[in-house]
Amino acid sequence: MAAKRRLGKPPAAAAPAAPKAKAKANEDDAEGLFSSRSFADLGLHPTLCAHLQDKMGFQGPTRIQAQAIPVAMSGQHLLVKAATGTGKTLAYLAPIVHLLQMREPRVERTHGTFALVIVPTRELCLQVYGIAQQLVHRFHWLVPGYVMGGESRSKEKARLRKGISILIATPGRLLDHLQHTSSFVYSNLRWIVFDEADSILELGFGKAVEDILGLLGSRTDASDENKSKTDPMQRQNLLLSATLNEKVNRLANISLKNPVMIGLDEQKKPSERSSALGKKHTSLLSDDEEEIPDKHNNIAEPAVDDFKLPAQLVQRYVKVSCGSRLAVLLTILKSQFERQVSQKVVVFMSTCDAVDFHHTVLSQLEWSRGLALDTDKKQKFLGCKVFRLHGNMDQEDRKKSYLGFSSDKSAILVCTDVAARGLDIPKVRCIIQYDSPGEASEYVHRVGRTARIGEKGEALLFLQPVELDYLKDLELHGVSLTEYPFQKVLDGFPVNGEKPLKRKPISLDMHPWILSVQRTLENYVASEATTNKLARDAFCSWLRAYTAHRGELKKIFMVKKLHLGHVARSFGLKEQPSLVGRSHQVQLKKRKKEQKREGQGPTKRRKFPTKK
Ligand SMILES: Nc1ncnc2c1ncn2[C@@H]1O[C@H](COP(=O)(O)OP(=O)(O)OP(=O)(O)O)[C@@H](O)[C@H]1O
């Protein structure tokens, strides 16, 4: 039986309409996504249950919610590991709202913050805030709010002074307010939630998180002075993550006290779990391991974690030689949108500059039917809207992009990993990883933006022939991909009005369609000065990112194996990289000459120019 699709309304901040909920859950649910219990069975207040069902369109809890909500309501610390898009947000927000609305005396704004939800990114902050807003709809005395980087500090201070009962925050800005906003009342703080804990730490917020826990007196290994600020006995901490790694374990160890664990490998005995990390603790700040006696919990997973991905997600890879990458991306997107006009696709890139360049190309590239340039009237190569999202954009643009892509029915989002964490954008059908994600956990976060809550979804990973070993690395984590039939897609495209004859297979790079797209692209990049500059910047930053792969992955993504001329081609640049990073090339030649004189081989590591 096919999985039941149950969609709820997206957050108010994201605003798009979502389909009505489907029939009630039953135990035969194919993917085991939904529980057979009702929200009322879990002990949630009838008004809240009615709101979840009637207004948010949730007929019943997901399995993760059915497991986590009763534990969260019991006051115990909780560690949840569950696949992306399984409803973790409601799993912690519903019990918080339930417990807060029944609190006597009634919660008032002057009581300050009772629940603190820490999230890794600004977009996720807005998203969780949107859901909190919906949940408190019938409990007007509960006030949700958010603080996050990029917003006006003084406005946030004013809101904190008035009082926010459920506060959603990014770590840096939260720490800032804890240290500098004296009117921020958190003496009644009862819950600290880490949503997307793995991402919080991967994004380098380890130190901020440690400081936050220290200031709030919620570090289980905190010194006594820190503990005295609030009563930690009242505190309940919840940690949710799609993946577990050593840093998350360390955070769990310092923030959770005898937690109930949900979604961890039930087959493993606690003693087996603890052995991997029980004795070794990893600092939240660095990759170095340090031996610290395990004073508290034994929360651990094996070093090589198998990641949880939705079963209905179709995962494929496409093998593309470096020079044709962009032409292939354009072709795949064109074919996707011609097959189905109304759909949403997210394309992940490795750097902000690469996002800016590709966003411009995807949204502006024009062609004439048949690709015979300068003949007929030109039209857009891709007809749909294209949005971009990365960390260097200013906050207003970020918000606009996020909301625009969320509410549009047919669009592409080109983004960096800033969009990989926890974002719940309705109806994303396909995730394209144009640049490889690196760590397998990052792969999981990226593809987790589709196939959410039982919906269909596809993921496509671009790999160059020299990078195919990456598939083995993913296999180690239980992620296996099949090859995407790109040749079939290609055969569907006419060249000069005619479909190619199927005589013999033509290599992808020599295929007339790919050659024509590449020519159009190169002409466009050459003729537009701004785009040309974007292409050069993107080329440099992309190479720098390529050299930054860590550990074992360095052996797969070897910059030495790249042909820089082909890399340039993939940015629509006709000229060789010598023109892109002239000073670098001069230096390189000089170095080579010197090496020759001294009888050495070329140095192993290539350094790349910073953009000009
Ligand atoms: N009980 C439910 N019934 C139907 N839909 C639900 C239910 N709970 C949550 N949803 C919907 O499922 C989607 C995914 O939820 P959510 O974002 O909380 O997942 P998640 O597990 O936190 O994902 P990620 O790990 O990617 O952050 C959202 O659109 C949400 O509205």
Nearest atom, ligand 1, residue 59 CA: 3
Burial class (CB in 10 A: 0-12, 13-18, 19+), 264: middle
500 neighbors 512 (Cβ within 8 angstroms):
yes
pLDDT tens sequence across 469-511: 999 999 988 889 999 999 888 887 766 655 555 555 567 778 8
CA of residue 121 relative to chain centroid, distance: 9
Q: Which residues have a Cβ under 8 Å from the Cβ of 574 and sit 6 or more positions away?
A: 522, 525, 526, 568
Q: Check residue 456 and give its pLDDT.
A: 84
For the full predicted model, state whether its pTM sits above 0.90.
no
Confidence of residue 24 (pLDDT cuts 50, 70, 90): very low
d(CA 387, CA 355): 10
Mean pLDDT of the chain: 80
Q: Answer whether residue 26 shows pLDDT above 80.
A: no
Q: Is 587 helix (H, G, I), strand (E, B) or coil?
A: helix
CA angle 240, 458, 84 (to 5 degrees): 5
Q: Check residue 264 and give its pLDDT.
A: 67
Q: Residue 344 Cα, ligand 1 centroid: separation in angstroms?
A: 18
453 neighbors 6 (Cβ within 8 angstroms):
yes
- Determine if ligand 1 sits within 6 Å of the CB of residue 61: yes
- According to DSSP, residue 394 is labeled -
pLDDT tens sequence across 52-70: 999 999 999 999 999 999 9
Which residue among 69, 194, 312, 424 is best mutated to probe the pocket of ligand 1, counting the most ligand atoms within 8 A of its Cβ?
424
Q: Nearest CA to 517 among 366, 393, 321?
A: 366
Nearest atom, ligand 1, residue 445 CA: 26
Question: What residues does 187 pair with on adjacent strands?
Answer: none
Average pLDDT value for residue range 129-146: 96
* Whole-complex ipTM: 0.97
Q: Residue 167 Cα, ligand 1 centroid: separation in angstroms?
A: 20
Confidence of residue 303 (pLDDT cuts 50, 70, 90): very low
Highest mean pLDDT among 170-184, 203-217, 365-379: 170-184
pLDDT tens sequence across 413-469: 999 988 777 778 888 999 999 999 988 888 988 988 887 777 889 999 999 999 999
CA end-to-end span of the chain, whole Å?
Answer: 57
Q: Show the domains of the chain with their CATH numbers.
A: 39-219+234-262 (3.40.50.300), 313-368+379-587 (3.40.50.300)
d(CA 212, CA 338): 50
Which residue among 29, 42, 453 is best mutated to probe the pocket of ligand 1, counting the most ligand atoms within 8 A of its Cβ?
453
Using CA atoms, how far residue 99 sits from 70, 128, 190, 346, in Å, is 11, 18, 10, 37
Confidence of residue 11 (pLDDT cuts 50, 70, 90): very low
- Determine if ligand 1 sits within 6 Å of the CB of residue 58: yes
pLDDT tens sequence across 384-420: 999 999 989 988 899 899 999 999 999 999 999 887 7
Nearest atom, ligand 1, residue 60 CA: 1
Highest mean pLDDT among 190-194, 365-369, 375-379, 405-409: 190-194
- Determine which helix (DSSP H) or strand (DSSP E) holds 194, and give its type and residue range: strand 191-194
Q: Check residue 589 and give its pLDDT.
A: 61
Q: Whose structure tokens read 């374990």? A: 249
Torsion of CA 217, 218, 224, 230, to 10 degrees: 40
Q: Check residue 216 and give its pLDDT.
A: 94
d(CA 519, CA 322): 16
Q: Answer whether residue 371 shows pLDDT above 60.
A: no
- Determine if ligand 1 sits within 6 Å of the CB of residue 121: no
